[in-house]
């Protein structure tokens, strides 16, 4: 986990201006779409990282097998 996500978590936690709240009751008008876009970008980065060839090669053999048959 640390290998996969450490730098991404540091990016998120170290960004004071990042707002990922998407509850319309908690976000000022017009802010939800901006926050949704930021959240989508981070989810894409996470998924790209998880599914990258370099990371798959570092996963345990059993997980690599499951990935290959899917």
> Tens of pLDDT along 4-20?
788 888 888 888 888 88
Separation of alpha carbons 20 and 45, rounded Å: 15
When divided into structural domains, the chain yields a total of 1
Global model pTM greater than 0.75: no
pLDDT one-digit tens code per residue, 24-41: 999 988 889 999 999 999
Concatenated DSSP letters for 8-66? Answer: HHHHHHT-TT------TTTS-TTHHHHHHHHHHHHHHHHHHHHTSHHHHHHS-HHHHHH
Domain containing 26 equals 2-69
Residue 20 and residue 39 in contact, taking contact as beta carbons nearer than 8 Å: yes
Angle at which helices 2-13 and 31-50 cross, to 10°: 160
């Amino acid at each position: 986990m640390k290998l996969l996500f450490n730098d991404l978590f540091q990016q998120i936690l170290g960004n004071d201006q990042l707002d990922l709240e998407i509850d319309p009751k908690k976000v000022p008008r017009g802010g939800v779409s901006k926050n949704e876009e930021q959240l989508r970008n981070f989810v894409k980065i996470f998924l790209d990282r998880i599914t990258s060839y370099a990371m798959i090669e570092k996963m345990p053999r059993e997980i690599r097998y499951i990935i290959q048959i899917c």
